[in-house]
Amino acid sequence: MSPATPTNAAAMRAMREWRRSLTKDQRWCILITADPDALASALALKRIMQTRVRSVDIARTNEVTRPDNLAMIRYLRIPARQWQPEKAASYTHFAIVDSQPSHNPAYFDIRFDVIIDHHPPKPLPQEAAPCGKAAENGGAPEADAAPAEAAPPHVPALVDIRPGFGATSTMMTRYLQGLRISPSPHLATALLYGIRTDTAAFERSGGEDDLRAYQWLSRFADTGILRRIIRSEYLRAWLPLFSRAFRSLRDCRGGGVQAWLNEVDTGDLLVAVADFFTRVHGLKWVAVSGIVGKKVIVIFRGDGSRDIGRLADACFHDVGSAGGHRTLGRAEFPLSAVTPGMKPADFVQHRLMSRKLRPLPVQQPPVPAEAEGDGRDHDRDSHGDSQTVA
Ligand SMILES: [Mn+2]
């Protein structure tokens, strides 16, 4: 085991002290915004405390829709249920992992006794939150850990917020190591996937600690299940869209192809299809477009041989918002911008075929607001879905 830095030692002391303070009459609920890191961290915290308390539930405040997250929950049998605020009274204690009480209005009214997170600290909107202290003291006295009836300000018994880590799963792994708990294959696999997604498999972030945790977990994990989770990229319901994409595929200039999917529920589906085509060797770029509500959305992906953001700009800058980076691009414009008498599909096709790039010294147009937001669904933005940013 690696020697602990002072911060790790302090965190470990606080964890041990808190764990010792747990009693058999406590009914805990771990609240999360479900993404792989949060799910894995919750599973680890449950493992750490379950033998010392009466019960531990994991509740998520969001809907899980991404196929990989659904696969993770199913194959690793993670018991995450939908949070029902009206059931709050059935718990004596609350914990939050991979998030903070200030992150979501759903958390504002809850008195958390444990906060473990790797996002930068953010105080609650109303008050300058009195958290933070507890961790330095090595945990608050027992009296504060009890569900105080009417005495605000509530001081959590355990607060560990360390933005230096690439994933909360890494922090939880260190706790398991420090407590000499060997993770089950399912728990180890969950934590591996948590680290993997938050660091984008170490491409986007992740340091020494994350890498070391990853290595240690690999000894316990089920690589077959891990591969199945990683491979779960699509939902059954999306397959007709792929069929539409294949049938409508047309060659464009410069080694590109374009597909028209007509009406789709969300632009994220266009992203999923466009990302699929990046796996086909020999396609220099792809534009996948469709109608979402009263808008036409075009998702561009390129192999980097030409600036695809500039192409998006060239084709659609005058009718809506368009732009992107070298390999990712996106354009959006209202259906009303389509030339009268022309089908939207033909309009897009015509522009992809004929538009000239604007001369270079040009202000990079702002990327459409939605493009910077969520991934394919309403899970959070921090789970390796960087490709959906266009
Ligand atoms: Mn995280």
Q: Which of 167, 187, 166, 165 is nearest to 176 (CA)?
A: 187
Query: 40 C-alpha to center of ligand 1: Å?
Result: 10
Which residues make up the environment of ion ligand 1, defined by Cβ < 5 Å?
A: 37, 98, 168, 198
Query: 207 C-alpha to center of ligand 1: Å?
Result: 14
Query: 119 C-alpha to center of ligand 1: Å?
Result: 7
Query: 356 C-alpha to center of ligand 1: Å?
Result: 42
Query: 107 C-alpha to center of ligand 1: Å?
Result: 17
* Distance in angstroms (rounded) separating the CA atoms of residues 355 and 177: 58
pLDDT tens profile 9-49? 899 999 999 999 999 999 999 999 999 999 999 999 999 99
Query: 45 C-alpha to center of ligand 1: Å?
Result: 14
Q: Where are the domains of the chain?
A: 6-230, 244-388
Least confident residue range of 54-58, 204-208, 354-358: 354-358
Q: Which of 157, 230, 234, 221 is nearest to 190 (CA)?
A: 221
Query: 199 C-alpha to center of ligand 1: Å?
Result: 9
Amino acid letter, 81: R
Query: 43 C-alpha to center of ligand 1: Å?
Result: 14
Query: 167 C-alpha to center of ligand 1: Å?
Result: 5
For 248-267, b/e burial (b = at least 16 CB within 10 A) is beeebeeebbbbbbeebebb
Domain range 6-230, its CATH number among 3.40.1440.60, 3.30.460.80, 3.30.420.10, 3.90.1640.10:
3.90.1640.10
What are the CA-CA distances from residue 177 to residues 43, 171, 186, 340 (Å)? 15, 10, 16, 66
Query: 136 C-alpha to center of ligand 1: Å?
Result: 22
pLDDT at 215: 97
Query: 120 C-alpha to center of ligand 1: Å?
Result: 11
Query: 339 C-alpha to center of ligand 1: Å?
Result: 45
Query: 204 C-alpha to center of ligand 1: Å?
Result: 13
Domains 6-230 and 244-388 share a fold: no
User: HSE (CB half, 13 Å, CA atoms) of 227?
Assistant: 3
Query: 327 C-alpha to center of ligand 1: Å?
Result: 26
pLDDT tens profile 170-218? 999 999 999 999 999 999 999 999 999 999 888 888 789 999 999 999 9
Region 290-316: what's the mean pLDDT? 93
Query: 374 C-alpha to center of ligand 1: Å?
Result: 15
Work out the pLDDT band at 153, boundaries 50, 70, 90: confident
The first and second tokens of residue 364, run together, are: 């990079």
pLDDT tens profile 330-345? 999 999 999 999 999 9
Check: CATH 3.40.50.720 for 244-388? no
Query: 69 C-alpha to center of ligand 1: Å?
Result: 14
Query: 31 C-alpha to center of ligand 1: Å?
Result: 14
pLDDT at 330: 95
What are the CA-CA distances from residue 302 to residues 206, 254, 282, 283, 285 (Å)? 26, 11, 11, 8, 4
Does 370 or 210 have the greater pLDDT score? 210
Q: Are 134 and 115 in contact (CB under 8 A)?
A: no
- H helices then E strands: how many in the chain? 13, 12
Residue 277 has pLDDT above 80, yes or no: yes
Place of tokens 């880590």: 165
Q: What are phi and psi of 333, to 5 degrees?
A: -150, 155
pLDDT tens profile 105-142? 888 889 999 999 999 988 876 654 444 444 444 444 44
